Chain A
Amino acid sequence: MFSGEQIASLFASLGLTHVLTVPDSTIGRWENEIESSGISIVRVCREGEAWAVAGGLYLGGASPIVMIQCTGLFESGDALRNMLHEWKLPIYSMIGYRSYLNQDTLPGDTTLVFTEPILAAWKLDVRLITQPSQLPVVAEHYRECKAAAIPGVALIAEGKA
């Protein structure tokens, strides 16, 4: 979908300071370029940690983003609930949507069943990104969420494309 250079350039243009991440085979390939751009990578052991570390960073004046796969979103529930909905910290996330682009060739991944309903249940403002041409949509959405001081999600389709 996107190259590491594109993501690093995007994050730098948004003024992000830290990326909280557990890699998957798509987003993990962006790490080197992100680090090379001067943005700090914080590798957490499980995705729930990412929201709380991001919360601390935000409270301390930094500009973090959570970058995980949708399976990590499933793992993240209570931390996400607390940070985003109780403390109302407007943390933006980029979530890899596993198998979205492989639905014809590799059907049956239950992440396709649960990801969008779970994001809806968490009452998050989501942009589904399915085309490489949509990179500017992520930037626009981030800025909208920042201006409104609300959390947001760029849901990045993963798979063969």
Chain B
Amino acid sequence: MIDLSDALAAVRTHRRADDVVITTMAASRAWMEAGTQPLDFTFVPSCMGHATSLGLGLALAQPKRRIIVCNGDGSMLMNLGSLVTITSQAPSNLVVIVLDNGVYEVTGAQPTPGSAEGRSLGHAVDFAAIARGAGFNAVYRFSTTEEWAARSAEALGARGPVFIWLDVRPVPGRAGPRSPGPAAQRAQAFMYALGVRPL
């Protein structure tokens, strides 16, 4: 198991200056705690499940930038079809990271229907098999901090679309993320940071 903070620290380490990083749910909270910059898109408030779709749109509109989506497993389960939509477009600049803690953490850590605890047969859903079946170009799974630290540069740098599945520890008892400001103003500031509109 990987601590959420360690999982995201590797993304920070290998993030290029022009990369966009989208975070959602618990990942947003942890990412904001370590500091943000103008090309971060903290997807709070969100429509749960749609960070991957938002990332696809950004990847298509900004093909010269790498777009990294830090998603949760509960969110991923809500929009598995987006993996098929992504591969139908095959953006080489899109990286989807699923931070899998097996629970809906921000609502009190109830098991997801994809976790071993949430399933009658006791076997967790295989996100890597789903991603491969959907047609992702590169698929990785890491279960230890050491593995992730050693190969995160390779995985993040692979030709996309890339799917990275990380086993992370839940952080029970923490509140969900709060928007760092009015969403509409943040959208405008983000577009300014991308260079697609004046302030």
Contacts and interface: CB of A to CB of B under 8 A. Distances in A.
Given A45-B82, A45-B84, A52-B47, A60 B57 contact: yes
Nearest to B79: A49
Interface in B157-199: 183-184, 187, 190-191, 194-197
Given A56-B53, A59-B190, A61-B196, A82 B47 contact: yes
Contact of A42 (B58, B62, B89, B196): B89
A64 B55 CA distance: 15
A49 B82 contact: yes
B190 A49 contact: no
A86 B54 CA distance: 14
Contacts of A87: 183-184, 187
Given A53-B53, A53-B54, A56-B54, A89 B61 contact: no
Interface string A46-66: 101101111111111110100
A134 to B, nearest CB: 30
Given A61-B62, A61-B191, A79-B47, A86 B183 contact: yes
**Interface size of A as a range:** 20 to 34
Interface string B34-67: 0000000100011111110111111111100000
Given A53-B54, A60-B57, A83 B82 contact: no
B59 to A, nearest CB: 8
Contacts of A42: 56, 60, 85, 88-89
A88 B183 contact: yes
A130 interface: no
Contact of A78 (B47, B57, B88, B183): B47
A59 B58 contact: yes
A44 interface: yes
A98 interface: no
Contacts of A45: 81-82, 84-85
Contact of B57 (A43, A46, A48, A64): A64
A62 B194 CA distance: 12
A48 B75 CA distance: 14
B81 A43 contact: no
Nearest to B57: A56
Contacts of B195: 61
Interface in B100-135: none
A35 B56 CA distance: 19
A87 B88 CA distance: 26
Contact of B194 (A18, A61, A79): A61
Contacts of B196: 59-61
Interface string A61-99: 110100000000000001101110011110000000000
B82 A60 contact: no
Contacts of B55: 56
B61 A56 contact: yes
27 contacts: A43-B88, A44-B53, A45-B82, A45-B85, A46-B81, A49-B53, A51-B50, A52-B47, A52-B51, A52-B57, A53-B54, A53-B85, A54-B57, A56-B54, A56-B60, A57-B58, A58-B57, A59-B194, A60-B60, A60-B61, A60-B196, A61-B61, A61-B191, A61-B194, A61-B196, A64-B57, A82-B46
